[in-house]
Amino acid sequence: MTIDDIPTRLGQVQDRLRAACERAGRAPDSVALIAVSKKQPAEAIRAAYRAGQRVFGESYLQEALDKITELSDLDIEWHFIGRIQSNKTRQIASHFDWVHGLSDPDHARRLNDQRPPEAPPLDVCLQINLSGEDSKSGIAAEQASELLAVCDSLPRLRVRGLMTLPAPSDDEDAQRIPFRALRALRDALTTADRRLECLSMGMSDDLEAAVLEGATHVRIGTAVFGPRPYN
Ligand SMILES: *Cc1c(COP(=O)(O)O)cnc(C)c1O
């Protein structure tokens, strides 16, 4: 696996997405690919960019800021997909276009207050912890409407939808269960006044299951860039 392989791998992921959309009876352009470049060098991002990729996801703030600076000549849409810490919200609000994984009303208020006035509202997804297992991040489904109400009062945030990060599973039917639950929650929270069009779900090993259940954004790292160097 070298940087030279990235265009081929990116093409393979696009093929998988196209095939999954076809299986699902969905339009091929109805799923956005977020290339998750955490732990990958700036050169890897440049290689994917040259192959046409424009949307990248990062998890570790300092590492991300270094790459954002280094790649400021490129027209990249940056998504923060990592765990949010209170003392990092200002830099997240300043340097990212999207935040997946919002799950705390205090973080929501801080991101709102710290979003630079010249920037458009920050696009956010609320992280829902459906499986209850591994990661402690995300709120329970029952808490979602409360956090939504907080966000509705914050004009510098725009809630676009929901995100989830389920425990891994090899079996596509099993993979689909939490994704289906996220879509059902999204539908239940949708009102005439509030469209929640985004479902941020699906990674390298479960993107097909996610697309079958309605993902609008898949977050793909390994399948695009290869294994992360420092896991
Ligand atoms: C690392 C990460 C991904 C990508 O995972 P891969 O299995 O490498 O595709 C997606 N979402 C989040 C939140 C991540 O932290």
Question: CB within 6 Å of ligand 1 — which residues?
Answer: 36, 38, 59, 81, 165, 203-205, 219-223
CA of 25 to the centre of ligand 1 (A): 25
Is residue 129 a part of any domain in this protein?
yes
Q: How far apart are the C-alpha atoms of 47 and 222, rounded to whole Å?
A: 15
**Residue 133: is its pLDDT beyond 80?**
no
For the CA of 222, the closest atom of ligand 1 is: 8
3-state secondary structure (DSSP) of residue 33: strand
Pairing relationship of beta strands 157-163 and 122-127 according to DSSP bridges:
parallel
Q: Kindly state whether residue 231 falls inside one of the protein's structural domains.
A: no
139 within some domain: yes
Measured between alpha carbons, how far is 146 from 48 in angstroms, rounded to an integer?
Answer: 39
Arithmetic mean of pLDDT, 149-156? 97
Amino acid at 177: I
How many angstroms separate the alpha carbon of residue 114 from the centre of ligand 1? 26
Domains identified in the chain, total number: 1
Provide the H-helix boundaries in 82-143.
Answer: 89-95, 105-114
Please, which pLDDT band fits residue 227 given cuts at 50, 70 and 90? very high
Contact 22, 28 (CB under 8 A): yes
pLDDT category, 231, cuts 50, 70, 90?
very low
> In the beta sheet, which residues pair with residue 158?
123
Pick from 116-120, 137-141, 206-210: least confident = 137-141
In CATH, what number is assigned to the domain containing residue 212?
3.20.20.10
State the pLDDT confidence band at 176, using cuts at 50, 70 and 90. Answer: very high
| Domain span at 7 | 3-225
Task: Give CB contacts under 8 A, 24+ apart, made by 41-46.
Answer: 41/3, 42/66, 42/67, 42/70, 42/71, 43/3, 44/3, 44/6, 44/225, 45/71, 45/74, 45/76, 46/71, 46/74
Is the confidence at residue 45, as pLDDT, over 80? yes
- At residue 230, does pLDDT exceed 60? no
From atom 5 of ligand 1, which residue's Cα is the shortest distance away?
221
pLDDT at residue 134 tops 70? no
**In the predicted model, is pLDDT for residue 110 greater than 90?**
yes
Q: Is residue 209 part of a domain?
A: yes
**What is the number of other CB atoms lying within 10 angstroms of the CB of residue 56?**
27
Closest CA to 102 of 167, 147, 38, 56: 147
